């Protein structure tokens, strides 16, 4: 890969115009770079804060060529960017972080799991399901389990809990017979994630382990650092580094992991981009995941991922924009912003929809207990159903 350093004033390419791209573009601007976005949507969050918006499909030949004419490096903001687009950009002489091969491996859950295991990192017991015959042949020890589509699933979409072979067959048919994977349900103690940043020279840094809590398949809140012991945290970070190295990954990679009741750590899946669970790094760490993405894209040295203060991040979904009668109105942010250590990030999306990620709020404090208390107060003010969970004692 071309390791040329691109100096401030250059334009960095971005595939995808969502909120992760918006925060990348904001970090790029802080460091003196411009951003050109390839995104088919009209009012994309990332495009609003970028120098140039190329409005075209991700696989549009003209759009790809236009992007290549403006930039010498391209990064991504969501995992389902066509790998062929990255390949075509590389053929046009554009440095891509990550590469087409790395993104391709992360886009198929069956390929992904095989790759993770090849890297020496354990996963939950699972089996590929490509046909109804595969369902009939499933080992009974995999039940109860979760049937997931191999491609395009996110935020709980494309997933079904199945207790029996009959339920698995019904879910497989409900997914249209597309390729799936069945994962055995396990005794989970905690879900965590590690964001690893790796440059073209093979050097890497990791952020503190994040503790993640989901509601209806969508991340509800993250506690940074995770309330786990140092040995477990170090093992989780080592797993992430091993996966990035095995992929020869260049860029920002999120590795989602399960900590089981017996203390074992298993890899769940990977996301070849910054991650929702890493939003708190903007305020909580010396360098954020988005600054690291800029540094890697530009060929600059990796930044310092040291935690400066504990933090709790709340996802703000579109449900908050609806009152009791179902009318849309802007939430009252006044009480939230009056809380100590509060930082509000709204993504500029014009239309709120239920379960749509509209923004996030991060609470930083000198202690984890304080950060949890302030996040809980905000959750109560917003009417979030999980507010009481934030009473949980700090590590």
Annotated binding site: 109, 148, 153-159, 183-186, 191, 214, 268-269
Query: Taking residues 217-238, what's their average pLDDT?
Result: 97
Task: State the DSSP string of 204-272.
Answer: EEEPPPEEEEEETTEEEEEEES-SS-HHHHHHHHHHHHHHHHHTT--EEEEEEEEEETTS-EEEEEEES
> Is the pLDDT confidence value at 279 over 70?
yes
Place 380 in a pLDDT band, splitting at 50, 70 and 90: very high
Task: Give pLDDT, residue 395.
Answer: 57
> Is the pLDDT confidence value at 29 over 70?
yes
Question: Does the pTM of the predicted model rise above 0.85?
Answer: yes
Annotated binding site for ATP: 109, 148, 153-159, 183-186, 191, 214, 268-269
Other C-beta atoms lying within 10 Å of the C-beta of residue 131: 13
Q: Per DSSP, what are the bridge partners of residue 11?
A: 34
Task: Give pLDDT, residue 223.
Answer: 98
- What tokens appear for 393 in the block? 């004692």
Measured CA to CA, the distance from residue 142 to residue 20 in angstroms comes to: 35
> Is the pLDDT confidence value at 394 over 90?
no
> Is the pLDDT confidence value at 156 over 90?
no
Residue 296 CA: distances (Å) to CA of 169, 173, 226, 283: 44, 42, 26, 20
Domains of the chain: 11-106 (3.40.50.20), 125-184 (3.30.1490.20), 188-391 (3.30.470.20)
- On whether the CB atoms of residues 305 and 290 are closer than 8 A, the answer is no
Residue with tokens 């908050």, as numbered in its chain: 320
Residue 387 CA: distances (Å) to CA of 221, 223, 295, 318, 373: 10, 13, 36, 17, 10
Q: Which of 265, 370, 275, 383 is closest to 332 using CA atoms?
A: 383
Measured CA to CA, the distance from residue 221 to residue 215 in angstroms comes to: 9
pLDDT tens column, 179-196: 999 999 999 999 999 999
- What tokens appear for 25 in the block? 């573009």
Backbone angles phi, psi at 126, to 5 degrees: -155, 170
Query: Taking residues 84-110, what's their average pLDDT?
Result: 95
pLDDT tens column, 40-86: 999 999 999 999 999 999 999 999 999 999 999 999 999 889 999 99
Q: Per DSSP, what are the bridge partners of residue 38?
A: 15, 54
Map residue 322 onto helix, strand or coil.
strand
Strands (E), the chain: 11-15, 34-38, 52-54, 73-76, 95-97, 126-129, 145-149, 159-162, 180-184, 188-198, 204-206, 210-215, 218-224, 251-260, 265-271, 311-317, 342-346, 357-364
Other C-beta atoms lying within 10 Å of the C-beta of residue 248: 14
> Is the pLDDT confidence value at 392 over 70?
no
pLDDT tens column, 298-355: 999 999 999 999 999 999 999 999 999 999 999 999 999 999 999 999 999 989 999 9
- On whether the CB atoms of residues 59 and 82 are closer than 8 A, the answer is yes
């Amino acid at each position: 890969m071309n390791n040329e350093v691109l100096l401030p004033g250059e334009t960095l390419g971005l595939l995808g115009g969502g909120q992760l791209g918006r925060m990348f573009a904001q970090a790029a601007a802080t460091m003196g770079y411009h951003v050109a976005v390839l995104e088919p949507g009209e009012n994309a969050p990332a495009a609003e804060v970028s120098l140039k918006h190329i409005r075209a499909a991700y696989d549009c030949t003209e759009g790809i060529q236009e992007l290549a004419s403006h930039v010498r490096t391209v990064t991504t903001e969501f995992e389902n960017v066509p790998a062929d687009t990255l390949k075509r950009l590389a053929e046009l002489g554009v440095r891509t972080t990550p590469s087409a091969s790395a993104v391709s491996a992360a886009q198929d859950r069956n390929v992904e799991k095989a790759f993770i295991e090849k890297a020496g990192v354990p996963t939950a017991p699972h089996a590929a399901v490509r046909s109804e015959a595969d369902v009939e042949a499933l080992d009974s020890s995999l039940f109860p389990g979760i049937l997931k589509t191999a491609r395009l699933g996110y935020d709980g979409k494309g997933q079904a809990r199945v207790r029996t072979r009959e339920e698995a067959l019904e879910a497989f048919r409900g997914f249209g017979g597309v390729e799936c994977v069945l994962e055995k349900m396990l005794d989970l103690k905690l879900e965590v994630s590690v964001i690893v940043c790796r440059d073209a020279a093979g050097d890497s840094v990791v952020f503190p382990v994040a503790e993640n809590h989901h509601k209806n398949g969508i991340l509800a809140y993250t506690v940074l650092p995770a309330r786990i012991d140092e040995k477990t945290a170090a093992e989780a970070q080592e797993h992430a580094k091993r996966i990035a190295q095995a992929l020869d990954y260049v860029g920002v990679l999120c590795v989602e992991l399960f900590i089981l009741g017996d203390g074992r750590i298993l890899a769940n899946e990977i996301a070849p981009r910054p991650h929702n669970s890493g939003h708190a790094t903007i305020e909580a760490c010396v360098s954020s995941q988005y600054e690291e993405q800029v540094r890697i894209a530009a060929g600059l040295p990796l930044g310092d991922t040291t935690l400066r203060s504990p933090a709790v991040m709340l996802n703000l979904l579109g449900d908050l924009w609806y009152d009791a009668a179902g009318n849309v109105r802007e939430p009252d942010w006044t009480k939230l912003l009056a809380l100590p250590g509060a930082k509000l990030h709204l993504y500029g999306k014009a239309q709120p929809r239920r379960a749509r990620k509209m923004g996030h709020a991060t609470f930083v404090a000198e202690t984890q207990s304080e950060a949890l208390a302030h996040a809980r107060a905000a959750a109560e003010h917003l009417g979030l159903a999980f507010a009481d969970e934030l009473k949980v004692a700090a590590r």
